[in-house]
Structure 1
C-alpha cells in the first residue's frame, strides 16, 4: 500500500515538473526561471497571455462546433421526418392482401384487398404448395395461381355451362380471368353468394383504395414541403455559421491575444534562451 502511494505521488510530481517545463522552457542550467521565486512575475505574465489565448481559441471553437452541430441537427431532423412520412406513404400504396374474408371456395379465396385464384387437382384435391403467401397460402396448401387486386375491378359475373360454373373477373384494362366450379360439387346459389361477396368487397375496397391514394398524395406533398423546409433551415444555419466565422475574424480578440502571447514569448526567450512553443492543450 505504501509503495503504491509513493508511486502515485512520484508520478504526480513528475507530471507537474513536465508541465512546468513545457509551459516555461529553459536551458538545463536555468531551472530557476521555471521554478524559482525570483522569476515568478515573468512566469505569471507568460501564463496570463497563454490562458487568455487558450480561452478565446476554445470559445471560438465551441461556437463554431455548435453552429456546425445546428446544421447537422437540422439536416438529420428533416431526413428522419421525410423517412417517417415516406414510410407511411409507401404503406398506403403497398400491396398487402388484407385479412381473409372467409374460407376458400373452390379455386377462390377473398381477402380485404384482393381475390386469389388457386389451382386444384382433378377431383378437387388441393395442389402442392407451401404456406408462404406466394405459392400455397390456402388453408389446405392450395397452390396460388393468380392475385387480383379488388380496387378497380370492372365486373364480377357468372358464366354458366352444362358441367361448370365460371366466376369471371374483368380487370381495369378489360382483360378477363376466371375460376371454374364443377356443378357436381358447387351449386349455383353457392357461387352466386360468393360473387355477391366479392362484388360488395370490390366496391368497398375501390373506395378505400381511393382514400388511401388521396392520403398518399397528401403525404407526398408533405414530403416535398418538408424537404423544402429542411433545405431552407439548412441554408439559414449555414449562413449563421458563416456569419459567426466572419464575426470572429472581425472581432480581433484572438489576433490581439496571439500578439500578446508572442510578445511575452519573445520576452521569455530573450531572458531564458528558450522561447516557449504554443501548446493549447496545456492548462
Structure 2
C-alpha cells in the first residue's frame, strides 16, 4: 500500500498557474462571493503576475468560495503542460479553449486524488491492481492535448472510477463495529439532508455520508473515523473537537469550508486552516 500522502502534482500550486480559476469560472454574489462574475472574465482581484491581491484576506472580503475551491493541481497542469507555458494574456486566441479545458482537467485530477487515497487503504488491497490500472488510465488522459481533452467522455470515465471508489468505501467501512447507540442515527446516510443538524458528539464511524448536506451542522466532538465523506458539503459546519482521522475522501477544500479548532483531528495529509486559529 502507498503511504497516505497527497502527491505534489495533485496539490494546487498557484505559483505555476496563470490564475485560471480566477478567470475561467463564473460565480454569483452570495455568502460565498462578494459580487457576480461571468466565466472568462478576470476577477478584479487578479493581479498582473496572476496572483490574488487579497489572497490572505479572502474570507474577510467575502470570498469564502475561493477558499473552498480546489483544482487538485489542474491549474498548473493546464498552464505548464497542456499549453506549455503560453498564458491567456499573451495568447488571447487560446484563452477560451484554455478556460474550457480547466474544469475538465480539474475533474480528472480530482479522480486521481481519490484514487490515490484508495490505494493507501489496506482494506482495499484485493482491488489494488484494478485501482492502479485506472490511475494509469486517468493519468494518460491528463496528458492529452487540449482538443482530445475537450472531446473526452468525462462522465463515462468517472463512472468507472466511482465504481472502484465505492468498492473501496465498502471494504474500509466494513471493518467498523457500530455501537448500539448508533441506532439513533440510522437514518443518516448517502445524500442525507443534514443542514443545521444537531450531531454534537455523534458516533458516525463508518457512516456513508457521500454527498450529504452538512451545511451549518453541529458536528462538534463527533466521531467520523472511517466515514465516507466524498462530496459532503461542510460549509459552516462545526467540526470543533471532531475526530476525522482515517475518514475517506476528505479534501482540504471541504475542511476550509468548515469551522473547527485545534482540537479537531484531521487526516495527516490535511492541515488546520488559518481561520480556525483566529479568535473572534
TM-score by length of 2: 0.20
Greater share of strand: 1
Whose radius of gyration is greater, 1 or 2?
Answer: 1
Greater share of helix: 1
Greater RCO structure (CA 8 Å; 6+ sep) = 1
